[in-house]
Structure 1
Amino acid sequence: MAERPTTGWREGIEEEQRKLDAGTLDPKCACMAELFPEGLITATDSILDAFEGDLPSLQGSSDERVFAAVQSVVLALNIVNDEHNGGAYETDEREQLCEYIDEALTEHGVDVGALTARHGLGRYQLTDRWRDW
């Protein structure tokens, strides 16, 4: 199953905390908890929960229905990003989220490459129409 970016974010926070506790990381260099506050992770997970709930019904669906699911998850992530002053998802996080959406759709039978090609898009432009982050 596609791994949620939030899983890696949580693991990074935990690893950083272990290093702080062990004294192997200078507290001035610790940034994970600040970059990924619990509210951001929880809100992102809630959105991804809803997206994952839609996935089983997308296999064999029309392009419009798949795009509607992508639009819904992206617009919800836009709101979270706005709530964090436009800085919730930086370059790495954007790439992780887009890759997750692509992989999750693929795992549920959506040929993302063919879908985007039918609409004159490159595979990695799947979210661009709605994405502000």
Structure 2
Amino acid sequence: MKFLENNGKNLKKFYIGGSDKALRSSIAKFCPNLKSLFIIFRNGELEVLKNTLSSCKYLESIKIWCGTDYLSEKEVLETVAKYSPSNFCELKIHHIIIDSDASPDYLESFFISWERRTPKKLLSFIIIVDAEFDFTY
């Protein structure tokens, strides 16, 4: 965490695999200039995602794991639509088990919310449904 405290404001891209909640929470506080982020939020860490999206004003891209032990796709979609910064333009959801919970209704609601955003920016939206872990960004 000391690394982020000392260098976070200079980071543009950050990949954080396994970590603890305190480290994930510190991104919002120490990394306001991030443009690209790969992060794994556990169940119950929706507020950490909200804070990250609200605090990282230059964030353009995020890749998030979803699944049984992680935030649900519904939670991620609703939160990204509501809290992502105005220049945000790429969402990658990696669902790490076979059954995705991204129903057509959730997706429709997300895209309606996205369409209402100001300013409007085209969105690259990818859902990866794969039982094998993908650690690439």
Does the TM-score normalized on the shorter chain lie above 0.5?
no
Ranked by relative contact order (alpha carbons within 8 Å, sequence separation 6 or more), the top structure is 1
Between structure 1 and structure 2, the one with the greater Rg is 1
